[in-house]
Structure 1
C-alpha cells in the first residue's frame, strides 16, 4: 500500500512539475471574442496561442499591457497604447485603427494586408484609399469575396492594385475577369511542381470581345464564339470558333468545344476526346499519340512513354526533348547529372536536347 501511495505521489509531482514548466497558457482573456488570447499560466503577461493549441501550433509571449489588454477578434487585440496582431505590436494609428465585419483592416492613413513582407506583421496596401475601400462584390462566394476589393479608383486582388475598372470589373471564375473594356487573366502561381511560387496577379490581356458571357467552369469562360483561359505558359488563350454548338466539361483544366479538346488552354484538334489522358508538365496522350504543349510527339511508343522532367521524356526507343527526338541519346541509360540542366547517357552529355560534348572512350 505504501509503495502504491509513493508511486501515486511521484506521478502527481511529475505531472504538476511538467504542467508548471511546460504549460504556457492559462485562462482566456475573453473567450467570447477570441479563442487565441490567454493569460500566461504562471507569468504576468499575455500569450497568443492559435485556438489554444500551444503544443502543436506554438505560442507567443506578447509585451501587451496585461491589465488593459482586450482582444478585438481572434487574432487582433489592443491595450491602452498599442494594437496587436497574433500578439505582436503593429505599427498602426492606434486611435483610428479598425477591423470591420468584411475583414478590412485600416486606420486613417492606410489599408493593411495580412500578407505583408515581414511575417506576422501587417503590410500596407499601396495606393488604397482608406475612405472608399470596400468589398468588390459581397455576393461572391466566401473564398473569393475576401480576395477582391475596390476603392473609388481601382480594383485590388489579395492586397495588390490592378488595372481593372472599379465600376464594371467582375471576376468570372478562378482564371478570368472582365470589365467594360478588357479581359483579364488571374494568375495564382508560376512554375511547376517544386518550382511553383505564388504571384496572385491580375493582368490585362485582351480587348473585350462581343457576345454573351457563359462561365464554362472555374478555368474557362465562353464569350460569344470565343473561349478564353489563363492556364497556359502565355497566361492567356483565346480560341475563336465559327460557331460554338456545344461545350462539355471534362475536368478542371479540360473541356471539349464542339469536337475540339482544350487542355490547360491549349487546343488539341487531333486528339481523341474519348481516350484523352492528361500527364505531367504539359504532356498528354490519347489512344494513338502522345502530345507536348499541343504538338504530337512523332514516333513515341505510348505503352513505354515515361516523363523524366518538364522538358525530357523517353520510351523504349528514343529520348525526347519536348516534342522532338534527341539524336544519339540512349533511353536505357539517359539520366540527369548533378550539373545544372545537364543530362548524360554514358556516351554523350546533353543540354536543351542537343549534344553538349562527346566523352572520350
Structure 2
C-alpha cells in the first residue's frame, strides 16, 4: 500500500512539473521588463504574448495580433505596434501614431482620452474630454476607488463627464459635493462594478443652501445652517436648522447638531446625548429608550436590551423584530439559527419576523 501511495505521489509530481514546464515555456523574453512584466515574445521571438505578471499557469495568456518587430510596451497593460494599440493584449481603436501614457499614466491619443475598463478589459473613450488638458484631480481622503479628473471646461467621474460647474465644483467629502448653485451626492450607480465607466455617479440633489460649505466627516457636511448627509443607508438628506451652534460627531452615521441627534440623515428629537450608546450597526439607546434604524422600539428596556442578531433583539420581558414586538416569544430562550435564518424560543418560530409554526 505504501509503495502504491509513493508511485501515485510521484506521478502527480511529474504531471505538475510537466504542466509547469509547458506553461512556462510558452513565453520567451520580456519585451521590456523595466516597463511591463506582462508582455513577452514567444519562444521564437515572432509573436507578442500577453500574460499577467508572466503567470501563464494561473492567470493565462493571450497570443496577440501585434507585429513583434515594431511592438513597444508603454505600461504594464499598454503596448502598440505600427498599426494598433493594445490594452491587456487586446486590440483597441486608439491611434497608434499619437497614443501615449502621459505623465499621470492616463492613456491618450491626439483625439481622445481613454478610461481603462475592467469589464471588458479594454479602453473606453471618455466622451467630451480634451486630451491636451485632461488631468486627474487629487485623491480625496485616501479614497482611490473614485476616479476624478478635469479638463479646462469639465469635471469627470469614473470616465464620465458630470453635469456640474467646472469653475466652482468642490468635493466636500467622498459622498457630498457642491458647486456655486447646487449640492450633489456621490454614490454608486448600483448597476456597474467599481472599475467601469459610470460605476460612481454624481446626483444633483437641489439648490445649495446659503453659507459656507464644510465637511463634517465622510457622510455629513455643514452648509450654512443646514446639514447634508449621504450614505449607504440613506442616499441623501438635507436638514435645515434655525441656528447651528455646535456639532459633535458620534460616528460616521450619527452626529449631534446642538442637542438634536441626526442619524443616517434623520433628525431625532429628545435623545439624551450624555447617555447615548451605539449598541450595534443599526441599534442605539439612551437612558430611557432604544432605537432601531433611527426609529424608537416601543416598550424596549434600555437597561436589559441586547441584540440577538441583525433585526432580532430582546430585553428581559419581550422579543423584538426591528421595532415590532414578537407577541408570545420568550426572551430567556430566544435564539436564532444562523444557517436557516429561523429564530425560535423553543415553542414559537419566526422567519423574517413572521410566525410560521408553533
Alignment TM-score, normalising by the size of structure 1: 0.74
CA deviation vs aligned residue, 1:7-34 (integer Å, no higher than 9, x gap)? xxx9xxx798666324254432112322
1:279 and 2:280 correspond: yes
| Number of the residue aligned with 1:313 | 312
Q: Any gaps of 5 or more consecutive residues in structure 2?
A: 1-9, 192-197
Q: How far 1:109 moved relative to its partner?
A: 5.4
2:79 aligned to 77, 84, 87, which one?
Answer: 77
Alignment TM-score, normalising by the size of structure 2: 0.74
The residue correspondences of 1:118-267 to structure 2 (distance < 5 A) are 118-125=119-126, 127-131=127-131, 134-135=134-135, 137-138=137-138, 143=143, 147-151=147-151, 154-188=154-188, 199-231=199-231, 233-267=233-267
Contact 2:108–2:131 (8 Å) recurs in 1: no
Contact 1:256–1:273 (8 Å) recurs in 2: no
Closer/same/farther in 2, CA of residues 190 and 249 from structure 1, 3 Å limit:
farther
Closer/same/farther in 2, CA of residues 51 and 19 from structure 1, 3 Å limit:
closer
The residue correspondences of 1:9-48 to structure 2 (distance < 5 A) are 20-23=21-24, 24-40=26-42, 44-48=46-50
Closer/same/farther in 2, CA of residues 48 and 264 from structure 1, 3 Å limit:
farther
Closer/same/farther in 2, CA of residues 217 and 348 from structure 1, 3 Å limit:
closer
Q: How far 1:145 moved relative to its partner?
A: 10
| Counterparts of 1:321 and 1:168, CA distance in 2 | 47
Q: Any gaps of 5 or more consecutive residues in structure 1?
A: 1-9, 192-197
Q: How far 1:250 moved relative to its partner?
A: 3.9
| Counterparts of 1:44 and 1:221, CA distance in 2 | 59
| Counterparts of 2:96 and 2:288, CA distance in 1 | 67
Q: How far 1:166 moved relative to its partner?
A: 2.0
Closer/same/farther in 2, CA of residues 232 and 55 from structure 1, 3 Å limit:
closer
| Counterparts of 2:260 and 2:89, CA distance in 1 | 55
Contact 2:140–2:173 (8 Å) recurs in 1: no
Contact 2:182–2:205 (8 Å) recurs in 1: yes
| Counterparts of 2:19 and 2:232, CA distance in 1 | 55
Contact 1:171–1:177 (8 Å) recurs in 2: yes
Q: How far 1:106 moved relative to its partner?
A: 3.7
Contact 1:232–1:265 (8 Å) recurs in 2: no
CA deviation vs aligned residue, 1:204-245 (integer Å, no higher than 9, x gap)? 112111112222222222122222120164411223333333
Contact 1:220–1:227 (8 Å) recurs in 2: yes
Closer/same/farther in 2, CA of residues 46 and 215 from structure 1, 3 Å limit:
same
Q: What is the CA RMSD across the aligned residues, in angstroms?
A: 4.1
Q: How far 1:342 moved relative to its partner?
A: 9.3
Closer/same/farther in 2, CA of residues 314 and 166 from structure 1, 3 Å limit:
same
* SS of the residue 1:122 aligns to: strand
| Counterparts of 2:18 and 2:34, CA distance in 1 | 31
Q: How far 1:171 moved relative to its partner?
A: 1.0
| Counterparts of 2:103 and 2:226, CA distance in 1 | 39
Closer/same/farther in 2, CA of residues 274 and 93 from structure 1, 3 Å limit:
farther
